[in-house]
Amino acid sequence: MEQKGLDLNFFIGMFLILGIIMWINVSQVQNNLDTSTKQNEKIENKLTVESNQINKIEEKKPDARKTLPSVIYNLSNEFLSIDFSNYGASISQVELKDFKTYNNKPLIIAKDLIFDFSFFIKDEIINCSELFFSDVDKQKNKISFTYIDNYDNSVVFVYELKPNSYSLDFNVLTKNGNTYIEPNKLTVIQNIQQQEKNLKNERNNTTINYSVNSSSSKQLSLMKDATKSIENPSWVAHKQQFFSTIINSNNFRQVSINTSTPEHNNYVKRLTSQFDIEFDNNKSSYFFNIMFIPNKYSLLSTFDSGYESLVPLGKFVFGWVNKYLVIPMFNFLEKMNLNYGIIILIIAFVIKLLLFIPTRSSYISMAKMRVLKPEIDAINEKISDPLQKQQAQMNLYRKTGVNPLGGCLPLLFQMPILIALFRFFPASIELRQQPFLWADDLSTYDSILDFGFSIPLYGDHISLFALLMTGATLLQMIYSNQLSGSSQMPQMKYVMYTMPVVFLFVMNNYSAALSYYYFLANLITFAQQAIIRRGIDDEKLYALLQANKKKPVKKSKFQQKLEEIAKQNKKK
């Protein structure tokens, strides 16, 4: 009675998963592109003026540099080492002490940073990058720079770096002399340096996020250069793949943000934010907070400002799966000081255990379809009219109590988890530079062979976990076909082998942790199938279905409608 064939339900489910993954990414990119294009058209004239001002900030150097010495001052705590220059009283470089780059160099989150504050003094715009702050007072965790102009107007920049913190407090104090001084703009320009092995992936994860409600954030396009203007922002983040520079203040009236990708690979992207400062005649102090921080969900969520949205966990049900299932389980296992490869193994086992009941229901449904296959074949040979054939098949399923969708519906429970993990693993800084077996970094691809040239769509290397995942997928598919015993159409043979190849091309450049998880999930599914298969007696199952035929069954409205259509067609 048992016949080999293709498990059509399995492939429908897998194609749905692949389609949703592609739809999510394409839709997100397209929405970002559409939004970016509209915003560009609205503020093109305004940003042209501001761009000219930024160019002046970058190009103009104070004449004082020729005669006055440039001095670098440093504030440091357990997490950060920040350099300041007396020219412009600005931040010039920031190092994250606990992290290294992919090639084991110090991780400089901000290098050659342009951090410029401008003022109106006597109807003239003065950029602090052009000023020499000669009066410097440095304490253990605080440094202040003072500038006094020819009109006795004074500006004091005070930076404070607290212990055990990624946060830098920045206070601007102004005092009018013979004329007035009015804060104008804060300009921050970062040329993001490469920190990770996969430059292309890092570039596609670098952008600017912004928030207007301190509870969530939106972002500029990841795939295309973009420009936007935001009114009354709560905070703006120059977001890299695993690190962010977050600028926060109640003094922002508006911000113009821009991302640009260089044609060369000297840096990843240029991120520019130009903030308009809300001026108040009654104020002489303007407070800002700047964070140089890793994109760790558990850390960012402690600030209660929506910073955790910098970690792309997915939206709606996919985000809920990550927040309330995957992350708590991951954090619990992490506290046990296990290797991250073992943590992923446990997560895969637990999730598959939770899904065992719907999985078992799915395979029992497929087994019912398999034992009914001879009767289905007889109907197909006897009836030629497609509608009557469908009606007869539905009658058979109804009488025997078989749900033809029973093998496919349980996949709906698995899809949110599979897609949620597709977002979680590549975004998890916990996996960054964590080794497991031959992989030296689970957050990126695990190359066992570098070609020295690039194959279109595939890449310039071979990822072993991606290969193992593909092999396990094929193994699980073949065994599932044997379990279902469904008929195999010739055109579907190509589908069987094409889909794993598509996944291989997609996963070759993705996180090794993700490929490793999918590999484990396929192996565990294979084991579950084997256990379920042993517990199914085809003869007893067939006898049960035949006994169901003797029970009275009420026709559904759908079945009644099919019969009415069939009768009308027969009369015609």
Mean pLDDT to the nearest integer, 297-325:
90
Contact 270, 189 (CB under 8 A): yes
Q: Per residue in 507-534, pLDDT tens?
A: 888 899 999 999 999 899 888 888 887 8
HEC profile of 432-478: CCCCECCECCCCCCCEEEEEEEEECCCEEEEEHHHHHHHHHHHHHHH
What's the pLDDT at 485? 54
Residue 18 — very low, low, confident or very high, per pLDDT cuts 50/70/90?
low
What's the pLDDT at 113? 86
Give the C-alpha separation, 543 to 539, whole Å: 6
Q: Is 133 left (phi over 0), alpha (psi -120 to 50) or beta?
A: beta
Contact 288, 251 (CB under 8 A): yes
What's the pLDDT at 571? 67
* Cα torsion through 108, 109, 112, 117, rounded to 10: -140
**Element spanning 423, H or E:** helix 411-427
pLDDT beyond 70 at 25: no
pLDDT beyond 60 at 11: no
Residue 35 — very low, low, confident or very high, per pLDDT cuts 50/70/90?
very low
Mean pLDDT to the nearest integer, 362-377:
79
What is the amino acid identity at position 408?
C
382, burial (CB in 10 Å: exposed 0-12, middle 13-18, buried 19+): exposed
Give the C-alpha separation, 142 to 439, whole Å: 42
pLDDT beyond 60 at 121: yes
Residue 386 — very low, low, confident or very high, per pLDDT cuts 50/70/90?
confident
What's the pLDDT at 274? 94
pLDDT beyond 50 at 8: no
User: What average pLDDT does the structure give for the chain?
Assistant: 81
What's the pLDDT at 46? 45
Q: What percent of the chain has pLDDT over 90?
A: 37
Between 15 and 119, name the one with better pLDDT. 119
Give the C-alpha separation, 390 to 392, whole Å: 5
What's the pLDDT at 169? 95
What's the pLDDT at 143? 94
Query: At which residue do the structure tokens 């009114």 appear?
Result: 231
pLDDT beyond 80 at 408: no
Contact 176, 182 (CB under 8 A): no
Mean pLDDT to the nearest integer, 530-544:
78
Mean pLDDT to the nearest integer, 216-235:
91
Query: Helix and strand tally (H, E) in the chain?
Result: 15, 21
How far does the chain reach from its first CA to its final CA, in angstroms? 39
pTM over 0.75: yes
Closest CA to 320 of 215, 217, 420, 430: 420
pLDDT beyond 70 at 570: no
The mean-pLDDT minimum among 118-127, 161-170, 385-394, 406-415 falls in 406-415
pLDDT beyond 60 at 47: no
pLDDT beyond 70 at 338: yes
Residue 15 — very low, low, confident or very high, per pLDDT cuts 50/70/90?
low
Most confident of 152-161, 450-459, 538-547: 152-161
Give the C-alpha separation, 22 to 257, whole Å: 28
What's the pLDDT at 14? 54
81, burial (CB in 10 Å: exposed 0-12, middle 13-18, buried 19+): middle
What's the pLDDT at 146? 92
Contact 259, 36 (CB under 8 A): no
Q: What are the chain's domains?
A: 8-22+319-549 (no CATH), 60-310 (2.70.98.90)
What's the pLDDT at 193? 93
Task: Return the number of other C-beta atoms located less than 10 Å from residue 232's C-beta.
Answer: 12
Give the C-alpha separation, 466 to 473, whole Å: 10
pLDDT beyond 90 at 194: yes
Q: Per residue in 460-492, pLDDT tens?
A: 889 999 999 998 888 877 776 665 555 444 455
Q: What percent of the chain has pLDDT over 70?
A: 80
Give the C-alpha separation, 183 to 286, whole Å: 9
What's the pLDDT at 22? 53
pLDDT beyond 70 at 140: yes
Contact 247, 237 (CB under 8 A): yes
The mean-pLDDT minimum among 187-201, 242-256, 539-553 falls in 539-553
Query: At which residue do the structure tokens 């994109």 appear?
Result: 295
Contact 120, 214 (CB under 8 A): no
> What crossing angle do the helices spanning 538-549 and 386-400 adopt, rounded to 10°?
100
pLDDT beyond 50 at 65: no
Give the C-alpha separation, 72 to 84, whole Å: 6
